[in-house]
Amino acid sequence: MERSYASRSSGELATASGGGRPVKVIPLRHPPGFGSLSSSSQPWWWAAVGRARGMRPVEWAEAALPCVAWMQKYRWKEDLQADLAAGITVGVMLVPQAMSYAKLAGLHPIYGLYTGFVPLFLYAIFGSSRQLAVGPVALVSLLVSNVLGGIVNSSSELYTELAILLAFMVGILECLMGLLRLGWLIRFISHSVISGFTTASAIVIGLSQIKYFLGYNVTRSSKIIPLIESIIAGADQGKSNKRLRFLRASGPLTAVVLGTIFVKIFHPPAIPVVGEIPQGLPKFSIPRGFEHVLSLTPTAVLITGVAILESVGIAKALAAKNGYELDSNKELFGLGIANICGSFFSAYPATGSFSRSAVNHESGAKTGLSGIIMGIIIGGALLFMTPLFSDIPQCALAAIVISAVTGLVDYEEAIFLWGIDKKDFFLWAITFITTLVFGIEIGVLVGVGFSLAFVIHESANPHIAVLGRLPGTTIYRNILQYPEAYTYNGIVVVRIDAPIYFANISYIKDRLREYELNLPNSNRGLDVGRVYFVILEMSPITYIDSSAVQALKDLHQEYKARHIQIAIANPNRQVHLLLSRSGILDLIGAAWCFVRVHDAVQVCLQHVQNASSSALKLASQASGDSADSISTSKEEQQRIKQDGFFKNLCKAKNGNADSGTEVQPLLRQNLV
């Protein structure tokens, strides 16, 4: 909660000097630490060092190995049964999915099983989520296939080496982002972009698997037009065994077990099968193909971004549902360790799976032990079951992929965005279309580019509101939101709802100039014909940079030349310190800095009242002296009145700044 630096009790209020009813003003005091090195000006790592010094050995262990947190509180009777049930359920689900996703990536099915083996054990130790199911996923598999297919033929050994190298590179990037605490970067990608991207990718993935049902090859591509052209062009190339076409078309409904039994019994030549799968656990080997690192770097960055979007988002949602906190930076580090170690055991990039994580959660998983059980099941499959996998129909694996990506088609999100926010719908649509037409890489770049463009536009054009006083209160609110709020002649109260920095200071100055020229319809106070006071309500302003400081100084000089006084109300601690150190408060004058907007308005009204009264006297004298002269027109009398107001207003402001005392009080009826 933001503190206001006022007096210690509500009774200690500064009062205006002079006769009449005093105006009570809460004095704005310098925050603690002014003029010295405060906590806000210390290096960012200082607080981390302080926390590290006070950590106990157990806390150090939890920071290095997140699994220690749940191991200490593990309830063997309650949690073990739930973790066993969830681990077995998802493990059985992972075996055919892993082989299916490896085929989607253009790899032999065995590499999908490898990717679902070692990374699961490492993530259970270093990962912070207790329900996230890690392993191969459809979207990352499609990215691997799309990029590596353009570099080398998928049947070559180099293709597999590069896929494994990608896992190593993705792991390095994820670890670096976790250690440098860069997880916040992903916040700049809106949910609309993610939804449009995944929807288009799901359609591309589904179309790429149709070849296993049609019976002929389809061009490998991440663009929808070449896929559709290839499907249409090969319509007359289907296998001739008409009795088996129905079976191939019903692939999505065919379970792996039933499909395998059917192939074992009948050996149909028209249905391609997986083929021989090596038996045994993966052997340790160092990734190769490092001469291709530069060409793979953009893809590694893209896969890292997709992995973060999918994994961290799912992990945070599951953590909230299960009542524990999740550090996104620790999560990134855990995923990175899993991918790095996995690459030494022939795994391609792994990340959190939405479908398997949902099943894991719904099956009652309590801790990371469920992930270890999944890994044990995959290990058992590698040791004992691979001979049974050789006769699995490829259409069954394709059906698994299609059924898995069906849930990614998020058309309901597009309908929702159309009714709520057309801007977000545009982001969804442009990402969806560009991903379908131009491919995944272009789709991601365009979507992220537009997302960042919207963020920059909103930041460079912040919301600025003119405030008015709610009747019967001392509260000031946006006059557009509260039309009953009233304003005062000669005074404009402005609230800037954003940090002030180099990108938006020009827009802010333009808006302030607009308010000066186009005076809002004021309904209280004396009619002075123009603006003489601009009050900046600074409570929403969290930060001001050096460019904004210089611009505020220039604005003060411009206003001073036009006889306009700036007043500042309720700056937070950091902004107050910066304004003080930069000399802006000295330029404006300490007497023009307030805790409340209402205090600033009261003082400004006093100036208007006193200067206007003196100006009226001057105008009256000028009118009396020239009563017999026809040369003194009404316009001339008005000019004399305005000149008198200028002189008295400047005199009042200068006198107040020199003496440090308040101006003469207003009558009560002028304040309400």
Residues 336, 339, 345: CA angle, nearest 5 degrees: 150
- What are the tens digits of pLDDT across the range 512-522? 888 887 766 66
Q: How confident is the model over 232-249, as a mean pLDDT?
A: 48
Q: How confident is the model over 50-73, as a mean pLDDT?
A: 77
What pLDDT, on a 0 to 100 scale, did the predictor assign at position 18?
Answer: 39
What pLDDT, on a 0 to 100 scale, did the predictor assign at position 520?
Answer: 61
Predicted confidence band of residue 217 (pLDDT cuts 50, 70, 90): low
For residue 199, pLDDT over 90 is answered with no
Of 47-51, 259-263, 325-329, 603-607, minimum mean pLDDT range: 47-51
Q: How confident is the model over 87-110, as a mean pLDDT?
A: 89
What is residue 544's three-state secondary structure?
A: strand
| Inter-residue contact 604 to 491 (CB < 8 Å) | yes
What pLDDT, on a 0 to 100 scale, did the predictor assign at position 183?
Answer: 72
- Alpha-carbon span 172 to 318, nearest angstrom: 25
- Alpha-carbon span 101 to 109, nearest angstrom: 8
Dihedral pair phi/psi, residue 120, rounded to 5°: -65, -40
**Residue of 523, 39, 555, 612 lying closest to 568 (CA atoms):** 555
- Alpha-carbon span 553 to 565, nearest angstrom: 12
Tokens of 276: 């021989």
Residue holding tokens 């006193």? 610
Residues 532, 533, 534, 537, Cα dihedral to 10°? -170
- Alpha-carbon span 586 to 582, nearest angstrom: 9
For residue 662, pLDDT over 70 is answered with no
Predicted confidence band of residue 249 (pLDDT cuts 50, 70, 90): very low
For residue 277, pLDDT over 50 is answered with yes
- What are the tens digits of pLDDT across the range 557-609? 998 888 889 999 999 888 998 888 888 888 888 889 899 999 999 988 888 77
For residue 447, pLDDT over 80 is answered with yes
Predicted confidence band of residue 631 (pLDDT cuts 50, 70, 90): very low
* Average pLDDT for the chain: 78
**Residue of 10, 403, 447, 422 lying closest to 195 (CA atoms):** 447
Percent of the chain whose pLDDT exceeds 70? 74
Tokens of 277: 């799968």
Q: Which DSSP letter does residue 405 get?
A: H
- Alpha-carbon span 100 to 255, nearest angstrom: 13
DSSP H helices, 287-327, are 293-322
Tokens of 221: 């591509």
Q: Of 3-12, 175-184, 196-205, 366-375, where does the model show the most confidence? A: 366-375
- Alpha-carbon span 98 to 117, nearest angstrom: 10
Q: Which residue has the higher pLDDT, 262 or 665?
A: 262
Q: How confident is the model over 33-46, as a mean pLDDT?
A: 51
- Alpha-carbon span 347 to 167, nearest angstrom: 7
Q: How confident is the model over 451-474, as a mean pLDDT?
A: 90
For residue 661, pLDDT over 50 is answered with no
What pLDDT, on a 0 to 100 scale, did the predictor assign at position 256?
Answer: 72
What pLDDT, on a 0 to 100 scale, did the predictor assign at position 271?
Answer: 79
Residues 438, 439, 440: CA angle, nearest 5 degrees: 140
Dihedral pair phi/psi, residue 488, rounded to 5°: -115, 140
Tokens of 542: 């969290």
Residue holding tokens 């296998």? 239
DSSP per-residue letters across 88-153: HHHHHHHHHHHHHHHHHTTS-HHHHHHHTTHHHHHHHHH-S-SS--EE--HHHHHHHHHHHHTTS-
What pLDDT, on a 0 to 100 scale, did the predictor assign at position 223?
Answer: 65
**Residue type for position 347:** A
What pLDDT, on a 0 to 100 scale, did the predictor assign at position 206?
Answer: 76
Predicted confidence band of residue 9 (pLDDT cuts 50, 70, 90): very low
